[in-house]
Structure 1
Amino acid sequence: MSSPTATGHVQGRSTRLTVSKGHGTQNDFVLIDDRDAALDLTPDLVRRLADRRAGVGGDGVIRLVASVHLPAAAPSLTEDPAATWFMDYHNGDGSTAEMCGNGVRVVALLAERLGVWDGRSELVLGTRAGVRRVRRVPAPDQGPAEWYSVDMGPWHLPGGPGAAAAGADAEVEVDGLPVARAALRVDVGNPHHVVALADLAELSAARLHVAPHVTPAPAAGTNVELVVPLGESTDADGVLVGRVRMRVHERGVGETRSCGTGACAAALAVRTWAGAGAPDVWLVDVPGGTVRVTVLPDGHVELAGPAVLVADVDVDVEALLAVP
């Protein structure tokens, strides 16, 4: 696979931009190698690249940039000077977001393909939510040869112990489901509202192409996860593992096939509801596959799953921007 390259400033309408297309459990992205920050990545260009009919198509656009070239990367460099690469993530609607758990894995694979990461050591990657550390790990037997594991950083319940005790601190109305549902807010570097449903029939009935209505309404928007707990089992190593099934409406995107931070939030919420003795390891089934969430002793949460690069695309930027 050839290396994707940014060929100039969009305002000057350079005629070619080579990008890659990749996904993590079918949460898909347009990826740009812009190590020198030469590309003027405007919200309009993001929207047009992400457009599934008139562009390349994706849930978001991710640019890999050397941290020294991007002001947004300065806090990550302050947190850890080893974060020399920055994941510049944009939602499909052109807005910026703190980070994306599936996107972190895919951009790590891109960095490996480009030769800026050896795939053996730890990749220290800056994001707007702080530094993320990525390593390659063995995948479960049914998966591809390698998975990527990401330390997603600290998590917390914005509602504190009171929300944990009550099990909820918000309400969410979902199209296709009767009455508003209780939701638990979970922060994993970006905001989430997790709603437990009674069964898989309810999960299937939800119409997530319509944005759920959240009360109280978060000023910066939120991601909404609908989850059905599927129980617990003990794996071959004697570790207690929980399992949940999830669908998600992502802020700035709509329903997606997977959401990495959403999977973390879903597992953390179900673990909170389960109480003392609940598993620290969770398998989260999403429409696009399965990821593994591990609650770490230091207050962080870890996400592991596959990453795939499927194509390089040579974009005619002038034609892309000319579409009404």
Structure 2
Amino acid sequence: MTVLAFTKGHGTRNDFVLLDDRDNKLTLTADDVVALTDRRAGIGADGVIRLVAAQDSAEVAELVTQDPQVTWFMDYRNADGSIAAMCGNGVRVFAAFLEDLGLVEFTDHTPYPIATRAGIRTITKHGDWYQVGMGPGRLIFPEAEHNALRDSTVSLGGLSVSDVEHQEVAARPALSISMGNPHTVVALPTLDDLEALDLTVTPIVDPTPPHGTNVEFVVPLGVGLDDQGNHTGTLAMRVHERGVGETQSCGTGACAAAVAVHRWGGTDAPTTWNVNVPGGRVRVTITPEEVFLAGPAVLIGHGTVDTDQLGR
């Protein structure tokens, strides 16, 4: 019998199994990840996050050289066992995990760097929310369309709400944004359109980015003033994540969605967006240099699992 200690956490109900492997002794295979994240015969999660000392990981050794303050590496795996570069909700939950272990104390004035496969990400804490510097949002196909307002199409049952009963498949224009991992963002006109989507199947994206893509469906809900009198937009989002399916939230997806809607809105569009997802709400702030994601992170419990019994 192999006993493995774990922590379970979530960020706006995007949930993760967290493993403390700071000594880098755990061999984590794709099959292990699939077994751990199985919602009936395992612990259940959208992915697995492994905490590793950055200096002990060949994958991020260069990042330690770039910034000697980089101490910890967030090794993230999707529920299907595939390796992912980044996870915006996962970074916040990883931060809560570091605090819970007594390894880091985050503040609101000193960004703390961590290593990910997408590069260094910095974290600050504001009240109960963690804010992550997510790097810039980049176009995946910058040459595909003039002004880069669309570069692909997405087809999915339920997109044509005029004929939902027959699930007529309609192709909608989309924009591909990289936040360290790939996203394809589709705008829909109403919340009814968003509700009608059948995300039990994988959307068809043409062209598909080289390493697959997450697909975000968004409905802009308008612009208002925040508590400081700044113009702030609000949008609703559902997401189909590669290697997982529909999730309650996606942090990098929320960033990609805000970047896309900001581009579609033009120069007068807000740079701060509240993104409503089935699991709650996050806030995305866009600057010329970087996109910032803020939101909650919750650790719900600790335990051990008999890995020999997983999947049986």
Query: Structure 2: any 5+ residue segments left out of the alignment?
Result: 161-169
1:311: which partner in 2?
A: 301
2:111 is the counterpart of 1:122: yes
Post-superposition CA distance 1:6-38 (Å, at most 9, x none): xxxxxxxx5210100000000000000100011
| Whole-Å separation in 2 of the counterparts to 1:277 and 1:31 | 41
Q: Show the counterpart of 1:33.
A: 20
CA distance in 1, matches of 2:233, 2:146: 19
Partner of 1:300: 290
For residues 293-316 of structure 1, the C-alpha deviation after alignment (integer angstroms, 9 at most, x for no partner) is 00123x210000000000112101
CA positional deviation for 1:43? 0.7
Residue equivalent to 2:155: 173
Structure-2 residue corresponding to 1:222: 213
- Return the alpha-carbon distance in structure 1 between the equivalents of residues 151 and 131 of structure 2: 30
Amino acid at match of 1:177: L
Report the 3-state secondary structure (helix = DSSP H, G, I; strand = E; otherwise coil) of the residue aligned with 2:45.
coil
- Kept after mapping to 2: 8 A contact 1:291/1:304: yes
2:53 corresponds to which residue?
66
- Correspondence list, 1:46-125, <5 A: 46-120=33-107, 121-125=110-114
The aligned amino acid for 1:127 is T
Work out the CA distance in 1 between the residues paired with 2:120 and 2:140: 21
Match for residue 246 of structure 1? 237
- Other structure's SS at 1:180 match: strand
SS in 1 for 2:135: strand
1:235 match: 226
Residue 79 of structure 1, CA deviation: 3.2
Contact 1:283 1:293 in 2 (8 A): yes
Mapped contact 1:211–1:254 kept (Cα < 8 A):
yes
What is the CA–CA distance in structure 2 between the aligned matches of 1:310 and 1:164, rounded to whole Å?
47
Computed over aligned residues only, the root mean square deviation of the Cα atoms, in angstroms, reads 1.4
* Counterparts of 1:282 and 1:137, CA distance in 2: 17
Percent of aligned positions with the same letter in both sequences? Answer: 54
CA positional deviation for 1:75: 3.1
- Offset of residue 236 of structure 1: 2.1
Query: Following the alignment from structure 2 to structure 1, what is the Cα–Cα distance between the partners of residues 148 and 126?
Result: 37
Contact 2:140–2:176 (CA under 8 A) maintained in structure 1: yes
Larger displacement relative to structure 2 (171-180 or 238-247): 171-180
**What is the CA distance between 1:159 and its match in structure 2?**
3.0
What is the CA distance between 1:164 and its match in structure 2?
A: 6.5
What is the number of equivalent residue pairs in this alignment?
301
The question of whether the paired residues in 2 share the 8 Å contact of 1:32 and 1:62 is answered with yes
Name the CA distance, whole Å, in 2 between partners of 1:46 and 1:265: 26
TM-score by length of 2: 0.93
2:148/2:175 contact within 8 Å kept: no
- 1:135 aligns to 2:117 (yes or no): no
Matched-pair contact (CA < 8 Å) for 1:209–1:254:
yes
Contact 1:35–1:64 (8 Å) recurs in 2: yes
Contact kept, 8 Å, 1:164 with 1:272, in 2: the verdict is: no
CA deviation after TM superposition for structure 1 residue 58, in Å: 0.3
Deviations 1:224-259 (A, max 9, x none): 000000010011211100000000000111100000
Moved over 6 A (4+): none
Amino acid at match of 1:66: A
Code of the aligned partner of 1:65: V
